Chains A and B, each alone.
Chain A
Amino acid sequence: EAGVAQSPRYKIIEKRQSVAFWCNPISGHATLYWYQQILGQGPKLLIQFQNNGVVDDSQLPKDRFSAERLKGVDSTLKIQPAKLEDSAVYLCASRSDRAFNSPLHFGNGTRLTVT
């Protein structure tokens, strides 16, 4: 099966600019996650979707971050305006609901550098 697709692969922006990331999960996976991985740290959940509904966005900085998953498939994560501390790899992951507690499948991420 095709894996989780993310784009762009890299992005460099100046602080206060906006940026958007795109994710296409594995076909049929109802649950989609966005994680932030700062250099030297483990991934931290930003938001979790079940189909096109938000399950958990408690750690999403809502004053600058937004995410949507229209039609329960692709998802976009946006940052506006970006801060220096937003420099990180943004990982998208998806999970099937067909098997109980099936594993998360991660994409290769988008590396964001804010200057």
Chain B
Amino acid sequence: QQQVKQSPQSLIVQKGGISIINCAYENTAFDYFPWYQQFPGKGPALLIAIRPDVSEKKEGRFTISFNKSAKQFSLHIMDSQPGDSATYFCAASKWTGANNLFFGTGTRLTVIP
């Protein structure tokens, strides 16, 4: 059972454009939603995270938008750069305790110069 569904599977964006990746979850107990960035041959690295007490979180060119009623959250990358080309994973878990992160299936982003 896929706890977190992610789309699209791949995304090609022109340099300077906006990249948008969407995720949906089923478990209403989830209350922590991080995004991880993974470059080829490397492990995932935390990019940005949000808790559902806010609807949006912005860090530089990266913004998470969260819709609790729809159980959906998305990552927006503004002014996308070729260096942003990577695979992005959304994830979800409970905030408290020994939280197991459930990952989405990933989105391979390619930013064309």
Give chain B nearest CB distance to A58 CB in angstroms.
Answer: 9
Q: Per-residue CB proximity of A1-33 to B under 8 Å, as 1/0?
A: 000100000000000000000000000000100
Report Cα–Cα, A50/B98, bound state, in Å.
9
B: residues with CB less than 8 A from A are 4, 6, 32, 34, 41-46, 49, 89, 91, 95-96, 98-101, 103-106
9 contacts between A and B (CB under 8 A): A4-B43, A40-B105, A41-B105, A41-B106, A43-B89, A43-B101, A45-B100, A103-B49, A106-B45
Whether B101 contacts A104 by the Cβ 8 Å rule is yes
Interface SS of chain B: loop
CB-contact partner of B44 in A43, A44, A101, under 8 A: A43
Name which of A93, A101, A109 has the most chain B CB atoms within 10 A of its CB: A101
Name which of A4, A41, A93 has the most chain B CB atoms within 10 A of its CB: A41
Whether A91 contacts B43 by the Cβ 8 Å rule is yes
